[in-house]
Amino acid sequence: MIKLVTDFSGVGAANHALDLAGLEHENVSACDLDKFARRSYLAVFGTKEDMALLDTDEVKKIDSVYYREFVSGKSPSKEEWDWVHANEERVARKFSFYYPWNVYSRAIPKKPVDLYISSPPCQGFSIAGKREGSILFLNSLDFIRKNKPRVFIFENVKGLLSHDKGATFDYWTQTLGGKSINGVYNSFFVHPDSVPYHIHYTVLNSKEHGVPQNRERVFIVGFRDDEDNEFSWPRTEPLTKRLKDILESE
C-alpha cells in the first residue's frame, strides 16, 4: 500500500492516475486552498462525513478567508486571519485524512512517505500567464528535505523550461537532483541546497498517451539515494480516441 502525500492537490488528478494504474494507496494528506477544488476532491476521494464537514461553519469560514485572499482578491480582516491561523490545523484533522489549506502552515509527516506529488501553480511559468515565476517550489523542496519520501513526482507546464532563460528549471534540477540527473551523476559542484535524489525529467504530451488533447507538461521523477532508481518513461502510443468519443451526451 503506497502512502501518498500530494500538495496543490486540486481535484485529485494524481490520485486518479494511481487508481487507473491499479496502484493501491493510502491518502496520508492532500492540500489545496481553493474551496471548489476541495469540494470536488472530497466528492471523489472523501467520505460522506467529509462532505458534511464542508457545510459546517468552521470549514466555510476558513474556505471563505482563503478564497477571498488568494482567488477573488478581496482581503479578509486581520481578525478573520487570526481566527483561521488559530483553528485551521485542528479543523484540517477532522477529515478522514489530513486535509490542510495552506502548504506553508501544514504539518510535514516525520515518517517518510512512499510517494510525494507536487504541482506548484503554473501561472508563473505558463505562456498564458505573466511568467513571474513561483516561490511555492521552495515549499515542496522543504517537504522533500524534511520528510525524505521514497519517490517524488513534479508536474508543471512546458514554459518552466524556458522561464528566466532556463535559470529557474536549472535551479529546480540542481536542488532536486543532488545525486544524478537523467542518469548522469552530479559529482561536482553540487548545489548547497540540494537533496540527495536521483531525478529523471522529460516533456510528455497527452496526445501521445491516449488522451485527445495537445497538452505538453514537464515531469520530474525523483528516487531517494537508497532506492532503486532504474527508470524509463512510458512509450508513446497511437491516438485512437477523439474528443467526441469521451464527451457525455448530456
Which residues are annotated as catalytic? Answer: 122
Q: 152 has which bridge partners?
A: 116, 222
What does the angle CA 188 – CA 171 – CA 220 come to, to the nearest 5 degrees?
95
Provide the grid cell at 56: 459546517
Q: Which residues face 219 on adjacent strands? A: 155, 202
Residue 114: exposure state from Cβ atoms within 10 A (0-12, 13-18, ≥19): middle
* Cβ neighbours of residue 34 closer than 8 Å, sequence gap 6 or more: 10, 66, 67, 71
- Dihedral (CA of 220, 216, 101, 130) sign: positive
67 and 147 Cβ atoms separated by less than 8 Å: no
Rounded-to-integer distance, Cα 229 and Cα 214, Å: 30
- Residue 93 has a CB neighbour count (10 Å cut-off) of 13
Cα distances (Å, whole numbers) of residue 64 to 11, 46, 72, 142, 197: 18, 20, 10, 27, 38
